[in-house]
């Protein structure tokens, strides 16, 4: 099996500290929380209450330009920023965070330049998150057994995503290993 595919299927790459992965995770988070916040603002607007527009979130005491940068994906939303948005819009903060599967699927989609079918990303995330032992390396034989245990449609989707992620993850793996002194 190709090294990049193996990395995509056996490693928790979303925890790697590389710029490309951090940006993909931030973009996937934005893809989730922004529509939730906009929906709450639309509801507020229809009800005639405050906080129906981004200009109305002055309680955050943030520079409007910086808020705009976060909304446009130029800067990543911090936990404090999302907590502030949740408080201003009277939402539970967990509504602004995707599930683990959604976040991994979204980040994979971003790393693949959004060239994935939505169902493929979900199938991939479900597969990689259901590892028998997250703290142990998976042998190629075990990986093959796991792949054979899923439906042919799911297996095809998982492999499409793993192949699409391969090159990005190989580059990231080299950076992580160099940073950790393993290169």
Angle at 181 between CA 104 and CA 76, to 5 degrees: 35
105 and 122 belong to one structural domain: yes
Q: State which of 62, 80, 96 marks the end of a domain.
A: 96
pTM: 0.89
Helix axes 152-179, 100-111, angle to 10 degrees: 70
Quick one: DSSP state of residue 97?
S
pLDDT in tens, 104-151: 999 999 999 878 887 999 999 999 999 767 667 778 899 999 999 999
92 and 105 belong to one structural domain: no
**Cα separations in angstroms, 128 against 28, 47, 179:** 17, 43, 25
Number of structural domains in the chain: 2
pLDDT in tens, 56-81: 777 777 788 888 899 999 999 999 99
Report if residue 20 sits inside a domain.
Answer: no
Lowest pLDDT segment from 13-17, 50-54, 71-75: 50-54
């Amino acid at each position: 099996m190709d090294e990049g595919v193996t990395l995509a299927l056996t490693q928790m790459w979303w925890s790697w500290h590389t710029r490309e992965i951090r940006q993909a995770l931030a973009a996937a988070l934005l893809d989730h929380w922004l529509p939730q916040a906009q929906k709450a603002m639309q509801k507020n607007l229809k009800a005639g209450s405050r906080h129906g527009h981004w200009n109305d979130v002055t309680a955050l005491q943030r520079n409007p330009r910086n808020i705009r940068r976060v909304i446009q994906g130029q800067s990543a939303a911090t936990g404090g920023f999302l907590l502030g948005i949740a408080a201003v819009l009277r939402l539970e903060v967990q509504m602004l965070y995707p599930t683990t599967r959604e976040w991994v699927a979204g980040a994979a989609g971003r790393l693949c330049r959004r060239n994935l079918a939505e169902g493929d990303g979900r199938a991939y995330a479900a597969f990689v998150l259901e590892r028998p032992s997250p703290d142990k390396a998976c042998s190629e034989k075990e990986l093959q057994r796991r792949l054979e245990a899923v439906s042919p449609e799911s297996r095809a989707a998982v492999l499409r995503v793993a192949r699409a992620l391969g090159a990005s993850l190989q580059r990231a793996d080299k950076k992580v290993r160099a940073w950790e002194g393993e290169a």
